[in-house]
Amino acid sequence: MEADTQAHVAFFLTGRRPSEHLDAVDGLGLRPALFASYRDLTQLRYDFPLVLVDGRADGLFAQSLSGIIDSALASVAQGSDGERIRKHVLRLEQAIRELATGGASGSLFALWDKASSQFTKGVDQSFEDSLRRTRAAIKVNGAVVDCDTALPARLLQHAWAAVQQQKAEGFRKELDRLVLKLSDILKADYERSAAGRSAQHLQAAVGTGFGDAFDFDAMSRMLSKALPTDVFPESRRKRIGGLLDALSAQQFISSPAASATKTDAAKPYPFLFDSCADALAAFRERSPKQIALAKAIAIAGLEIDGQYSESRHDALFEQFGANGLDPQDLAQFPDYLVCVNAEKMQAVEHAHLMEILASGLPIKVLLQIDDILEESPNGESKLTSGMRSRQIANMAIGLNEVYVLQSSSSNLFRFRERLLRGLTYRGSALFSVFSGASAKSSGLPPYLMSAAAMESRAFPAFTYDPSAGPNWASRFYLGANSQVDLDWPIQAFTYEDEQHQRVSQDMAFTLVDFVASDHRYARHLARVPREKWNGSMIPVDESLTRERKGLPDKVPSLLMVDADNVLQKVIVDERLIREARRCREMWHSLQELGGIHNSHAEKLLAREKKTWEERLQHETEAREATVPGAGVSAAPSASPAPAATSAPVEQEPERSPDEAYIETPRCSTCNECTTLNNKLFSYDANKQAYIADIQAGSYAQLVEAAESCQVSIIHPGKPRNLQEPGLDELLKRAAAFQ
């Protein structure tokens, strides 16, 4: 027992596994115990597959297969036949789900027919009747898509196309209206001109049928005398002609009328890109034409209303768009959509992405992330989760005017309204989506991996919508994550023990569960044979609440199941626990942004509570003092309230230049230093960092923290240990922060 515990502790600290005490996890096909009931997703009714519904640009642009079937059954499965129809149709639903999971593509009705053909042999007529009646009750159709690697792009492109089509229809109607009105103005002008009143023109207008019935010469003379002869100045005629050319030749939306009349009509521009650089280049190249079209629309409106004044407007429109178009003008035009994969992005593309987001241009970017776990390049085998995507999303939020949506694929259906909001947002938008594709290496479905990433806080879902209101409370939404006020969501887990008794227990789903489902990181885990299970193995979430002092006497462990759903216990190394702590700190920061456990609010609450308790105490004492016979003198009269004074300004203490310190009141609680070493750096009651124990870290860590502090308030001072390696270099780096 003692030797086993020592082996567990050694593995925890070093990641080295003595084979006589611990088994390697590789090849055992283990998965977190909470995955046990999700072994075959086709047996479950859940959000997927989805149907990308044709012709919808509202929240029903995507619907779940189960939802569509339920709606149809609600109208069909009634009366004595009801149960029979429900049973038959649910069998078919499962067959469609199996087809989608197996990679079959097609519309809902195509897959319906394909799945129902599998049942034709040996089924009675009642089965066919159930399917026929339910199929007739389904009023939507569209491509069926499963939660796979392609889902983020397919779903977003589908929603974007629907939104753009709706937008283009409005734009096209407006352009057609302007063209018609301007043409009418020119026509009316011509009718008033000498040429328009000529006998020849009048005859052509009447046509050959009645050509002999009129004296067109007489009619022309009469009209010339009877009607006013004022025609446009040539400049106006030319201007309107130019406007008509600009409106008809535009390539921003397709115009069926232009294509029908002109065989050489230029093709409409594409707005879907797979590179930020290409999208930006296209935007810039088209910009002069976009400005010209927006200018033509503005002038056309004035012309039609008879408001255009050359003396006033010519000079004004000369400068139109000199500084680019304003958001209102831009909003008429189609939005760009760029779909990029984070793994394939080079530094240049990354820079272009940031340029798009900072520009506020109407370019929406889908950043698909297929793998959120990576070994950090900065530390020896240090594991990080979602670091790159987190940095991009944080930077986008920091720009204040970008719509940001982060979500796992598994949650995209639930975020469909928010997807639409981002696509219709006037500025740039970032959709950062984890696809779950890394599940392939572990033989898991992408749905399960992406759901686990969200559940474990490795990739939490949130949105930041700058148009939703003036403050964080209205702009930032974190509520899609389960049990959002907890560090880790708790789920009930039920299993049968060796005595065949049903046992139920609550289990936290942590980052360690997520990493444990990825077989590439199996080296951070070791299986403990059942006979060696002992009391030193504690759940990961419990271990995360303990601060280690000296050698640990407990090691974190995880319940997993093997391919036969037999319960196994694995222990976890300290690197994984460190990353879980880091993940929890990041989650805390998000919680604060979402107003959960907000440190400012909690501080205010504590202050108010203290004031209230003091007042209560004071009143109680005063009451007791005035009770007759209490044997004490009357309460002294209340002393006058002190005049309001401003809070004393905290003076920074005098410091030696050799001393390391943090300007604590300026700390923005970004967690960088505390994550690096939470003994050296700690938070005070205001959740602002200070140096808690200078002995608990090295000078190198002080310098590293100073370099990563976002507000440069960590001052490393001078090294205490003059034997520390690399001091010359460290002192040079530290000089910038003294």
Contact set with ligand SF4 (CB under 6 A) = 662, 667-674, 689, 709-711, 713-714
Q: CB of 271: closest distance to ligand SF4 in angstroms?
A: 41
Q: CB of 663: closest distance to ligand SF4 in angstroms?
A: 8
- On whether the CB atoms of residues 4 and 569 are closer than 8 A, the answer is no
Please identify, using beta-carbon distances, which residue of 51 and 713 lies nearer to ligand SF4. Answer: 713
Q: CB of 689: closest distance to ligand SF4 in angstroms?
A: 4
Tokens matching residue 239: 């201007």
Q: CB of 710: closest distance to ligand SF4 in angstroms?
A: 5
Please identify, using beta-carbon distances, which residue of 137 and 670 lies nearer to ligand SF4. Answer: 670
Please identify, using beta-carbon distances, which residue of 126 and 712 lies nearer to ligand SF4. Answer: 712
Q: CB of 396: closest distance to ligand SF4 in angstroms?
A: 20
Q: CB of 737: closest distance to ligand SF4 in angstroms?
A: 11
- On whether the CB atoms of residues 432 and 404 are closer than 8 A, the answer is yes
Q: CB of 383: closest distance to ligand SF4 in angstroms?
A: 21
Looking at the DSSP bridge assignments, the partners of residue 144 are 51
The rounded distance, in Å, linking the Cα atoms of 484 and 508 is: 13
Please identify, using beta-carbon distances, which residue of 374 and 707 lies nearer to ligand SF4. Answer: 707
Please identify, using beta-carbon distances, which residue of 503 and 711 lies nearer to ligand SF4. Answer: 711
Q: CB of 585: closest distance to ligand SF4 in angstroms?
A: 10
Quick one: DSSP state of residue 55? T
Tokens matching residue 293: 């079209």
The length of the chain in residues reads 738
- On whether the CB atoms of residues 182 and 304 are closer than 8 A, the answer is yes
Q: CB of 660: closest distance to ligand SF4 in angstroms?
A: 12
Q: What is the DSSP string of 189-249?
A: HHHHSTTTTSHHHHHHHH-STTTTTS-HHHHHHHHHHHS------HHHHHHHHHHHHHHHH
Q: Nearest 5 degrees, angle CA 91-CA 95-CA 98?
A: 140
- The answer to whether the peptide bond before residue 49 is cis (omega within 30 degrees of 0) is yes
Please identify, using beta-carbon distances, which residue of 94 and 598 lies nearer to ligand SF4. Answer: 598
Nearest to 20 by CA among 397, 372, 532: 532
Neighbouring residues of 632: CB distance < 8 A, sequence distance ≥ 6: 624, 625
- On whether the CB atoms of residues 352 and 280 are closer than 8 A, the answer is yes
Neighbouring residues of 200: CB distance < 8 A, sequence distance ≥ 6: 216
Q: CB of 565: closest distance to ligand SF4 in angstroms?
A: 44
Please identify, using beta-carbon distances, which residue of 3 and 711 lies nearer to ligand SF4. Answer: 711
Please identify, using beta-carbon distances, which residue of 495 and 690 lies nearer to ligand SF4. Answer: 690
Please identify, using beta-carbon distances, which residue of 194 and 711 lies nearer to ligand SF4. Answer: 711
Please identify, using beta-carbon distances, which residue of 35 and 737 lies nearer to ligand SF4. Answer: 737
The rounded distance, in Å, linking the Cα atoms of 609 and 250 is: 65
The rounded distance, in Å, linking the Cα atoms of 514 and 498 is: 27
Which SS3 state, helix, strand or coil, does residue 389 take?
helix
- On whether the CB atoms of residues 580 and 511 are closer than 8 A, the answer is yes
CA distances to 642, 650, 694 from 646, rounded to whole Å, are 12, 12, 34
Which SS3 state, helix, strand or coil, does residue 529 take?
coil
Q: Which amino acid is at 290?
A: Q
